[in-house]
């Protein structure tokens, strides 16, 4: 699913954004106590990634909330797959805990990702809630992007204006997928050309692009739609660019690059 301009006939997305924020509140009420109390058991999926009952319980709560409020919509989640109306052009994309490996190890960098997508226009609503960090980011098409730290007023998000890679702060997430593509040397060289390189990973790197804290983020090769949909709309509404490694504006492929837009061609040129 590639994004195209949102037409004037699409209704105001404010009610859908408000719903997504309420669902994020409900998710936080489940995930944060499990994390803080270490009250979960660990299983392994067939692809050798971790899953906990917190993942499954959170996705169930979100799915129930979506389908109660939007019974004509579909929903696709990491843990339970497709539910609701599979033929609807509107589909919610859910990752109950993005960063389950961090969650399991006691690292506070994990989040619930909630997105509403349209078959023709891609992600149009996105909420990224990281309660252990005390942070939340949200956006909707034509409504802007915002972020808040617990106890503080929300603020609008805007990407940076750094146009020179030698002055840029970048985040690169290495993975076996990049090795399989033969592109790990290109990632290393890109880091070496940047002013500063770090590996923040998962949702966080893309949210920092939206905030203007970093200028370019390259995700792991092998990501899934539920890893990307919510982040994509936040970055775009903050004025940034979000594509796969070939430059296609989509959350449906297995690579993702977010940037302030000014550095995007340099990254795509190396990795496309």
* Domain boundary, last residue among 156, 185, 207: 156
For residues 127 and 248, membership in a common domain is answered with no
d(C-alpha 47, C-alpha 81), whole Å: 15
Same domain, residue pair 135 and 187:
no
Where a domain ends, among 129, 156, 183? 156
Number of structural domains (the chain) is 2
pLDDT at 45: 47
Whether 197 and 103 map to the same domain: the answer is no
Residue 241 lies in a domain: yes
Query: 151 and 35, same structural domain?
Result: yes
Per-position pLDDT tens, the chain of length 272: 555 555 555 578 999 999 999 999 999 999 999 899 886 666 654 455 556 778 889 999 999 999 999 999 999 998 889 999 999 999 999 999 999 889 989 999 999 999 999 999 999 999 999 999 999 999 999 999 999 999 899 999 999 999 999 999 999 999 999 999 999 999 999 999 999 999 998 999 999 999 999 999 999 999 999 999 999 999 999 999 999 999 999 999 999 999 999 999 999 999 98
pLDDT on residue 272: 87
Locate 227 and state its tokens: 């890893």
| Domain ranges, residue 216 | 165-271
Tell me the CATH number at 176. Answer: 3.40.190.80
pLDDT for res 246: 97
Residue 80: predicted pLDDT: 86
């Amino acid at each position: 699913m590639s994004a195209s301009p949102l037409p004037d006939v699409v209704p105001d997305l404010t009610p859908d954004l408000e719903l997504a924020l309420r669902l994020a509140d409900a998710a936080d009420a489940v995930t944060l106590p499990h994390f803080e109390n270490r009250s979960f058991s660990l299983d392994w999926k067939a692809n050798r990634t971790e899953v906990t009952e917190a993942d499954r319980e959170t996705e169930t709560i979100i799915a129930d909330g979506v389908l109660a409020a939007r019974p004509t919509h579909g929903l696709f989640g990491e843990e339970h797959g497709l539910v609701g109306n599979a033929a609807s052009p509107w589909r919610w994309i859910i990752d109950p805990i993005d960063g389950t490996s961090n969650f399991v190890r006691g690292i506070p960098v994990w989040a619930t990702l909630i997105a509403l997508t349209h078959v023709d226009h891609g992600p149009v609503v996105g909420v990224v809630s990281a309660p252990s960090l005390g942070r939340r980011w949200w956006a909707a098409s034509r409504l802007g992007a915002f972020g808040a730290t617990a106890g503080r007023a929300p603020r609008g998000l805007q990407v940076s204006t750094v146009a020179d890679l030698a002055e840029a702060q970048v985040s690169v997430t290495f993975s076996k997928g990049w090795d399989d593509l033969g592109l790990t040397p290109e990632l290393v060289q890109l880091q070496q050309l940047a002013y500063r390189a770090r590996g923040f990973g998962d949702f966080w790197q893309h949210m920092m692009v939206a905030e203007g804290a970093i200028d370019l983020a390259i995700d792991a090769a092998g990501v899934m739609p539920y890893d990307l949909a919510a982040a994509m709309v936040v970055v775009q509404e903050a004025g940034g660019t979000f594509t796969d490694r070939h430059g296609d504006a989509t959350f449906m492929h297995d690579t993702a690059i977010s940037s302030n837009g000014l550095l995007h061609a340099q990254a795509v040129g190396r990795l496309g």
